[in-house]
Amino acid sequence: MKQILIVTTVLLFSLVKSPLFAQQDNFIADYLERLENSRKYLILVAEMMPEDKYDFRATPESMSFSENLLHIGYAIDWHSQSLLGGRESRDWNTDTIFKVANKSKEDMIATIDKAFDQAIKLIEQFDTTKMDEELDYFGLNRTKRQIFLLLADHITHHRGQMLVSMRLNGLVPPRYVLFQ
């Protein structure tokens, strides 16, 4: 009788927990697909902009095309490695990896590609039971699930600024690809 009770308890627990884990695993798989598509599109945008236009600013107070590009890299690193992965944050004021100074177009694209690689590697290993853990995000409590979404929004926001820079320089940005 004791064995039947144990087996029944285990089965009931697995039925209750399995859909939750499956949803979280689906979230990670869906997110990784979106992040990979976002990488491809961002790198295509970066490749299409002529290097002599990388310093272009839509307005004097705007970030330049290159600053937007490397700011995206910094945000990918911070959201994934620090907020989701627990590594100490880089100091924006002293960091040199995501600063434009003395970097060629090729260097900047390689930096972005590496940031995506490292984020994807971390997210593939992410413990989905930690999705509901809360963090301080600029004074607001946000779950790690929300951090994933904030990162995707941030990439899109700054990439959109880069697309405007392309248009203002007479370039036609690459066609938008869905699900990114």
177 band by pLDDT with thresholds 50, 70 and 90:
confident
Longest dimension (CA), the chain: 78
pLDDT digits (tens, 9 = 90+) for 10-57: 555 555 554 444 445 799 999 999 999 999 999 999 999 999 999 999
% of the chain beyond a pLDDT of 70: 84
Give rounded-to-5 percent helix, strand, coil for the chain: 65, 5, 30
Residue 97 is encoded by which pair of tokens?
A: 């990896």
Q: With respect to CATH, is domain 33-168 assigned 1.20.120.450? A: yes
How far apart, in whole angstroms, are the C-alpha atoms of residue 171 and residue 37?
22
Q: Which of 16-25, 134-143, 154-163, 170-179 has the lowest mean pLDDT?
A: 16-25
E strands along the chain, which residues? 134-137, 140-143
Instruction: Identify whether the C-beta of residue 144 lies closer than 8 Å to the C-beta of residue 133.
Output: yes
Q: What is the mean pLDDT of the chain?
A: 90
Determine whether the annotation assigns residue 71 to a binding site. yes
> Known binder of ligand: residue 158?
yes
Mean pLDDT of 127-148: 96
Structural domain spans, the chain: 33-168
Q: Which residues pair with 134 in a beta bridge?
A: 143
Whole-angstrom distance, CA of residue 121 vs CA of residue 80: 10
- DSSP label of 126: -
Q: Is 79 labeled as ligand-binding?
A: no
